[in-house]
């Protein structure tokens, strides 16, 4: 298994490890990631660490910043552990149990709208707990970016709710959303990414879709 086969297997192994919620199974899947990396770069600790950093950078470039952080944290611990013990032998073949290939997600979350009574108080709150900075301040809303790259739009309102904002990964997600019980209403909100149309669901609440 060489070349692109290893790259494909590594991508699948990383997704499987990040998606696993059972800690013991997650350890096994991260081990699969490590083994594939070793097949790519060998057993030099610096080369393995650089390869893991490259994977984390790819995740960040895909907009998966929290997953990139989780991946770096877990793999740093793994590499540290293996400096104190022999590495396990490499298998003859790597088989990644990822199940069938998943379709591209319908939506990608790009920001959150937080409706608040006091925007100035909210700005101070997010600056303190998330080290957020202001990237856009208009009469209708304030857009913040946290130190980890997440965007939050503060808007005046009495509902005191947070609404996830998505952009479409496919041509027209509206028929799919409507088929799942979401209904578009006439409410729109301005964001740095464009107009966000609100959708409601009788049991799941609200979301917004960039138009």
Q: Give the whole-angstrom CA distance, residue 34 versus residue 165.
A: 35
> Does 92 have pLDDT greater than 70?
no
Summary mean pLDDT of the chain: 83
Residue 47 burial (CB < 10 Å; 0-12/13-18/19+)? middle
User: Are 210 and 195 contacting, i.e. CB atoms less than 8 angstroms apart?
Assistant: yes
**In Å, what is the CA distance from 138 to each residue of 145, 146, 151?**
15, 18, 15
Band (99; pLDDT cuts 50, 70, 90): very low
Tell me which DSSP letter residue 139 carries. Answer: S
Which tens digit of pLDDT belongs to each residue from 100-140? 444 678 888 889 999 999 999 999 999 999 999 998 888 77
Backbone angles phi, psi at 165, to 5 degrees: -115, 130
Which tens digit of pLDDT belongs to each residue from 42-56? 878 888 888 888 999
Give the other-Cβ count within 10 Å of 56's Cβ.
Answer: 22
Predicted structure pTM score = 0.51
**How high is the pLDDT of residue 113?**
93
């Amino acid at each position: 298994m060489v070349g692109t086969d290893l790259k494909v297997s590594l991508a699948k192994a990383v997704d499987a490890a990040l998606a696993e919620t059972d800690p013991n199974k997650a350890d096994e899947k991260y081990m699969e990631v490590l083994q594939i990396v070793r097949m790519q770069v060998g057993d030099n600790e610096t080369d393995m660490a650089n390869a893991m950093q490259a994977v984390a950078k790819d995740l960040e470039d895909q907009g998966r910043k929290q997953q990139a952080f989780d991946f770096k944290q877990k793999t740093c611990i793994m590499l540290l552990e293996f400096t104190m013990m022999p590495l396990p032998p490499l298998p003859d073949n790597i088989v990644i149990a990822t199940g069938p290939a998943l379709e591209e997600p319908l939506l990608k979350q790009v920001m959150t709208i937080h409706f608040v009574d006091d925007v100035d108080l909210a700005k101070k709150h997010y600056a303190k707990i998330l080290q957020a900075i202001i990237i856009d301040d208009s009469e209708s809303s304030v857009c913040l970016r946290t130190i980890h790259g997440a965007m939050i739009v503060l808007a005046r309102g009495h509902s005191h709710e947070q609404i996830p904002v998505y952009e479409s990964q496919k041509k027209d997600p509206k028929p799919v959303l409507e088929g799942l019980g979401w209904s578009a209403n006439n409410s729109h909100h301005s964001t740095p990414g464009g107009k966000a149309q609100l959708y409601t669901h009788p049991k799941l609440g609200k979301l917004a879709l960039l138009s």
